């Protein structure tokens, strides 16, 4: 196994202008691992409750995703309820029920401890540190976080960042972490905190990759069929890290290609609720849209 993700598996109830779905498969580790599995061998460390359908676990198994690190605890699975407005921008959270996720204590299986690539999805920075203590000498560690941890556990988060190669967050998180409204200035301040690369995820507006003095801008694919934006950021991270792990990327051009692959895979996720589009995705579809992507921002 090349790539480990530690994050959430969830049951989401989501309303968008195009419909409402109850208790559908969600969570950062779900989207990440399915996206990454298009490019590399992936394993998940996460926790689910008694109500988590076995059928969902079968889906991961079909994609050769290793589930040794997924534990099933007494109680209900982590649940999130959200509603998107007309423009499919930031959703309103109608309910967050941590359930078994509240006491999540990630234990890395012994067979994973030599893993080369690690992605710490958006969880408590103290748990992210605990994971880092359990893996021996990974080639590359990436992580995500959110404004809640920036506001409430910034010291722990800064400890994590000292050990992280790549940070993937959004605009407002970048601004909050740096305490600086200008995104370029904020990005430089975040790079001072430890990561060698910062990727600012901007949803339908694409992604910016900051690396030293270099800036790379990847568009988001302009879609006809956006149904549910949930999971786009985690899918982006999965496509990005999967491509890196699957090809042992170390050069700047390779990282740019990885960003485009992240954007490509994320563009499929939003075409349907949950992981429905992602779970049937083929390498051919990814390759075709990758080529369209390059054309999109090309000045002849």
When the beta carbons of 28 and 170 are compared against its own copies, the nearer one is 170
Residue 31 tokens, joined: 């989207």
Residue 67 tokens, joined: 């589930």
CB 31 within 8 A of CB 10: no
Q: How deeply is 275 buried, as exposed, middle or buried, from its count of CB atoms within 10 A (0-12, 13-18, 19+)?
A: buried
When the beta carbons of 69 and 242 are compared against its own copies, the nearer one is 242
CB 205 within 8 A of CB 172: no
Q: How far apart are CA 238 and CA 261, in angstroms?
A: 9
Stretch near its own copies under the rule CB under 8 A, chosen from 1-9, 65-73, 100-108, 181-189: 181-189
**192: contact with its own copies by CB under 8 A:** no
CA atoms within 13 A of residue 284's CA, in its CB half-sphere: 1
Residues in 240-279 at the binding interface with its own copies, rule: CB under 8 A: 252-253, 256-257, 260
Q: Which of 14, 226, 264, 265 binds its own copies (CB under 8 A)?
A: 226
- Minimum CB separation of residue 223 from its own copies in Å reads 6
Residues in 16-75 at the binding interface with its own copies, rule: CB under 8 A: 17
- 22 three-class SS: strand
**288: contact with its own copies by CB under 8 A:** no
- Provide CB contacts within 8 A for 242, sequence distance 6+: 3, 35, 36, 37, 38, 39, 40, 42, 261
Q: Which of 181, 192, 213, 283 binds its own copies (CB under 8 A)?
A: 181
**137: contact with its own copies by CB under 8 A:** no
When the beta carbons of 204 and 234 are compared against its own copies, the nearer one is 204
- Minimum CB separation of residue 141 from its own copies in Å reads 24
**147: contact with its own copies by CB under 8 A:** no
When the beta carbons of 160 and 259 are compared against its own copies, the nearer one is 259
Helical packing angle, 252-269 and 232-247, nearest 10°: 140
- Minimum CB separation of residue 184 from its own copies in Å reads 5
- Provide CB contacts within 8 A for 292, sequence distance 6+: 221
**218: contact with its own copies by CB under 8 A:** yes
Whose CA is closest to 235, among 274, 293, 191, 291?
274
Stretch near its own copies under the rule CB under 8 A, chosen from 60-68, 162-170, 212-220, 271-279: 212-220
Q: Which of 96, 107, 205, 250 binds its own copies (CB under 8 A)?
A: 205
Whose CA is closest to 242, among 225, 258, 224?
258
Residues that bind its own copies (CB under 8 A): 17, 86-88, 171-172, 175, 181-185, 187, 202, 204-206, 208, 215-219, 222-226, 252-253, 256-257, 260, 294, 296-297, 299-300
């Amino acid at each position: 196994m090349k790539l480990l993700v530690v994050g959430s598996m969830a049951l989401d109830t989501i309303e968008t202008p195009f419909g409402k779905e109850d208790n559908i498969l969600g969570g950062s580790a779900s989207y990440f691992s399915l996206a990454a599995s298009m490019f590399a061998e992936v394993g998940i460390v996460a926790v689910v409750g008694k109500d988590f359908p076995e059928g969902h676990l079968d889906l991961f198994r079909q994609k050769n995703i290793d589930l040794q690190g997924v534990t099933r605890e007494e109680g209900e699975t982590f649940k999130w309820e959200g509603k998107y407005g007309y423009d499919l921008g930031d959703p309103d959270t109608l309910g967050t029920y941590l359930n078994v996720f509240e006491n999540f204590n990630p234990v890395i299986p012994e067979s994973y401890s030599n893993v080369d690539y690690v992605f710490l999805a958006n969880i408590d920075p103290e748990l992210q540190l605990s994971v880092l203590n359990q893996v021996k000498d990974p080639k590359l560690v990436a992580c995500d976080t959110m404004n809640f941890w920036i506001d409430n556990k910034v010291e722990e988060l800064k400890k994590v960042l000292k050990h992280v190669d790549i940070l993937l967050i959004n605009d407002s998180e970048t601004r909050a972490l740096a305490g600086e409204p200008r995104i370029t200035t904020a990005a430089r301040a975040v790079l001072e905190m430890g990561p060698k690369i910062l990727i600012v995820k901007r949803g339908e507006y694409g992604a910016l990759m900051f690396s030293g003095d270099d800036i790379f801008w990847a568009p988001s694919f302009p879609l006809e069929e956006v149904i549910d934006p949930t999971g786009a950021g985690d899918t982006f991270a999965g496509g990005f890290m999967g491509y890196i792990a699957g090809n042992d990327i170390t050069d700047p051009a390779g990282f740019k290609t990885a960003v485009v692959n992240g954007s490509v895979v994320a563009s499929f996720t939003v075409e349907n609720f949950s992981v429905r589009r992602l779970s049937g995705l083929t390498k051919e579809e990814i390759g075709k849209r990758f080529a369209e992507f390059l054309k999109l921002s090309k000045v002849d």
